[in-house]
Amino acid sequence: MKKIFSILLAVVLFIGCASFAFAEDGNMVTGTLNLVSFNVDGLPIPAALSSTKRDPIKATKLIAKELNVSDCDILSAQEDFNLHPILKNGLDMQYATETSGGVAVGDGLNLFSKYPIYNVGRVPWKSAYGVYDCGSDELTPKGILYCTVEVADGVYIDIYNIHADAWEDEKSMQAKADQFDQLIELVEEHSGTDRAVILTGDFNTNYSVFREGYKNGQYKIDLCQKLMDDFIGHGFKDAWIEYNNGGNYDFTYGEMYERYGCAYPRVWDTLDHVYYRDGAGVSFELIEAVYDGFDCDEISWDGHLSDHAAVRTKLSYTANLDEVKPLENKQVEKFDLVKYIMNAVTTLSKSLFKAIINLPELIKNGIGWIK
């Protein structure tokens, strides 16, 4: 009788332990993400006025086609302006942020996804430089787009998309440094350690060229250090550097040029970046990260689909549902015509005011960035 009882007890304990182990495994979710950050060059410049004769409508359609072929799960787009409807309709993605408007009105930042997008927010830069010169960034409503994407049932990742100041003069570089500070402050305030985070965008900054003081100037070296301090110093990893340079951020322009045998803009250490950081319950493993122009045989002009290469990144994720923080107050973005009009009027008014008060500069110096 004791033997029978002992056997039954052992069976019960085994089943109990097995059930517990199964429940623990059942709370683990794994998957992969094919994420692309891409400045799609969505400015409505007619081919006749383009130095390369690039057809913006055809280019946008081809970008969507190439992204679909690449099995892209999430597209983080910059300069997605007036051609947004063409890009949106061409992509095989069910979800997308609502456009903030065309050139001079919107920030050109959007996210397209095969997974649901929640709690979308936009923040303009507090600092920018250049009205009639240095890229006229003060007349452009650039900034930060942020949102939460549910990549699997109950698994949430915060994604940020930015477009920083474009020029390389000292004041523009200082504005970029301020913008990076603003981004990291928003990340820590909004996401903190409660959420895994991916930063994407056109940072208009790289490591090797700026580190070596390209065109001279200590301020460029300082900005490279700012990039390191703000992102790497806060636990982020640059996908391209981790995958292609073993996580070694201390490299030179000469080393990269010798390795790749060509200039940097389309192959290595470009102005565009994807950073990733683990969060509560969600950890990433980098599978691949490359710069890809998504060029194809159908290009009929002297150039590329965009003046930027995309950052094509593949990440695997592991989520422990017991540790993932639930997303409270899930809000799906809806187009608000009144809000859209008010934003357009406000943005145009601010730009017009800056343009008027800087007229003396225009009369004296002309338009600096087209000299």
pLDDT tens digits along 203-241: 998 888 777 655 556 778 888 888 888 899 999 999 999
Domain with 166 in it: what CATH number? 3.60.10.10
pLDDT of residue 264: 55
Segments of the chain scoring below 50 in pLDDT? 1-24, 369-371
d(CA 325, CA 196) in angstroms, rounded, equals 10
Q: How many CB atoms lie within 10 A of CB 235?
A: 13
Helices (H), 91-205: 170-190
Phi, psi of 47 (to 5 degrees): -55, -35
Residue 288 lies in a domain: yes
pLDDT of residue 25: 56
Residue 104 lies in a domain: yes
Q: Which domain holds residue 114?
A: 28-366
**Residue among 142, 131, 136, 141 at smallest CA distance from 164:** 142
Residue 22 lies in a domain: no
Give the H/E segment covering residue 31.
strand 28-39
Give me the residues paired with residue 304 across strands: none
Q: How many alpha carbons lie under 13 Å from residue 210 in its C-beta half-sphere?
A: 27
d(CA 309, CA 45) in angstroms, rounded, equals 19
Residue 7 lies in a domain: no
Rounded to whole angstroms, the maximal C-alpha distance in the chain is 105
pLDDT of residue 11: 40
SS3 13: helix
Q: How many CB atoms lie within 10 A of CB 138?
A: 22
Judge residue 255's burial from the number of C-beta atoms within 10 Å of its C-beta, 0-12 exposed, 13-18 middle, 19 or more buried: middle
Residue 16 lies in a domain: no
Residue 9 lies in a domain: no
pLDDT of residue 216: 57
pTM, whole model, 2 decimals?
0.89
**Residue among 254, 151, 171 at smallest CA distance from 211:** 254
Total domain count for the chain? 1
Residue 143 lies in a domain: yes
Residue 23 lies in a domain: no
Sheet of 155-163: strand order equals: 117-124, 143-152, 155-163, 196-202, 272-277, 237-238
pLDDT of residue 218: 77
Q: Which two tokens stand for residue 362?
A: 């225009």
pLDDT of residue 370: 45
pLDDT of residue 244: 95
pLDDT of residue 62: 96
